[in-house]
Every structure is written in structure tokens, then in C-alpha cells.
Amino acid sequence: MHLYEQIKSHFIIPDAYSDWSDYRNHLTRMIIESTNQVSLPLSFHQGMTDRDLLPTLLILGAGACNDLNLADLSPHFSHITLLDEDSDAMQHALLQYDLTGDSHITCERTSLTGITEQDYMEFCDELSFFLAEHNDDITPMSFCRHAVSLVKQTLSNITYTDILEQSSYDHVCCFGVHSQLLAMYSYIFHAFDVNLRNGLFRNADASVCDNATALYMQTLKEWNDTLIPQINTQILECARQTAWFGLELKRSTDPSPLTIEGARQAISDLQTRHLAITSHTTVWPFCPEDHLLYDMWIARVNLQA
């Protein structure tokens, strides 16, 4: 198994479907109640059925759809599109809701950021090669700077095209996605950092390692600052009627109001756009076993206001 696959496997939540039951029902019911109406389709054709008159829905970062009940949503839409980089997860979603082969649901393997799994694999390989090549003279900061250069190189070379066509769906939802757009770069670096602190850097001053990590994380923050508004623009422009956003405000169990990167930028960007937003908060029991819950800002943007 490739190192990237090993790291990725550590972030699979085995009990997500059962743990998120109330959260899933809440979001699913909210969408159905808000869209349970007939709207004009994007195009007309001979032999249209009553179902064709129902609205369309795009689920961004769909994954295994543990936070939305596809079986309950399906009868209320003429077509549902799942979009995610992880095709296996989307196929699991169809299997989980007994919708495999349903012609009214389409899975599109696409990365919102343009970063692919191949990019992450190459990032892991480059870091491993750097460690092997410079084992005798490497420092926490030199390793960090190399990691930063690799991230910048990848993100700078991505040809950012419009993944989402304008006005292509009636409704679009994006729950818990913004915080994950660059998160894999954080996870990979963290895996290397832990191993290095326990091995090659075990005699290094902890503050030196901390400063190197802070520099790396600052790079990701700056890229989120640039990337998130572009992602939001695409989401808002591809929806005809409504766009839903689910964004982490903070960890529910954390007494200090520490913001979540990616979600922080998304909330700030949406609030400065002067949109017709109705919102509420709810709790996402992300991993109750580890006492990891998030206060979520659920925003409904009415694009017809």
C-alpha cells in the first residue's frame, strides 16, 4: 500500500453512518422541506415525465453520503449528482442506500481544487526521497521549507478551470467540505512530522520543530485564503435557486473559540458578499468516541432573492 493510502486510511471514520444519524436526518429533512416544489427544468424534451419537472441537486464532496440520506432525497429530485475525488466512497454511498444502477443519480469523480490523489502520492514520494537524500544534514526547518516548496509548486501549476458550469443545477449543497480542501496536505505533513520527532529529530529542540510546523501551516492558511473565495464563487454561480453550506464554527467541546481553517475563510467570504442568507447552527457529532464534535453553521443562500 502506498504511503498516501496508509495515511488516508487513518482518517476513515468507521462509525460515521451510525454516529451521524441525527445530523444526517436534520440536513436531509431541511433540504427536502426547502425544495419540495416543482420548478422549471433546465431544458424541455418530448416525453417528459412528472419526475423530470422536479429540481436537480448537486452534492459537493459527497463521499459516502453519511451526512445526507440519498434514499430519502432521491424521490424529490429529477436528478442528483454526486461529486467527489473519491469514486470508491461514492459507489459505497449508492450501495449503502440501495441505489446502485439508479439512472437518476450520477457520480462524477472530480476534485474541486484540481488537486488529485496522484498529486498527494507524489508529495509523499518527494518528501520520502528528500529524507533519504539529505538524511545526514536535514533539519526541521529545511524539511519544512522543502515541503512548502512542493505544495506551492503543485498549487501554482494547477490550471484552475471552471469545474462547475454556471446555472447547471437548481440546488447545490456543500457540507463539511471547505475545511477538507487542503487538509490532506496537513495530514501528510503531520504524519512525517510525528515520525521525525520520534526519530531523526528526537534530539532537536521542540520549539524548532514547532516553528517549522507553524511555517508550513501558515502556507496552507494563505492558500486557503486565495482558494476558498474562488470555490464559493463557482458554487454560487452553478446553482439556479439555492446553495447550502455547512461550515465548522469550532469544536463543540473546545472552550476557546478556535476557528477551523477552510471553514473560517468560507464563512468570512460568504458574509461579505451581501447574499440573501438564512442560517442556523447545529452539532455535527464527527467522532463521538474521541469527543470530537463541531458546532456547524448551516447557511441557505437564496439565489432568487
What pLDDT, in 10s, does the model give residues 176-235?
999 999 999 999 999 999 999 999 999 999 999 999 999 999 999 999 999 999 999 999
Distance of alpha carbon 130 from alpha carbon 133, whole angstroms: 5
Cβ atoms of 245 and 298 within 8 Å: the answer is yes
pLDDT number for residue 253: 81
What pLDDT, in 10s, does the model give residues 221-231?
999 999 999 99
Provide, for the chain, the percentages of residues in helix, strand and coil under a 3-state DSSP scheme, each rounded to the nearest 5: 50, 20, 35
Mean model confidence pLDDT for the chain: 92
Distance of alpha carbon 202 from alpha carbon 89, whole angstroms: 38
pLDDT number for residue 276: 97
pTM strictly above 0.85: yes
Report percent pLDDT > 70 for the chain: 93
Select the more confidently predicted residue: 209 or 35: 209
For CA atoms 187, 192, 196, 198, the dihedral sign is positive
Q: Is 80 exceeded by the pLDDT of residue 163? A: no
CATH number for region 3-41+49-302: 3.40.50.150
Spans of all domains in the chain: 3-41+49-302
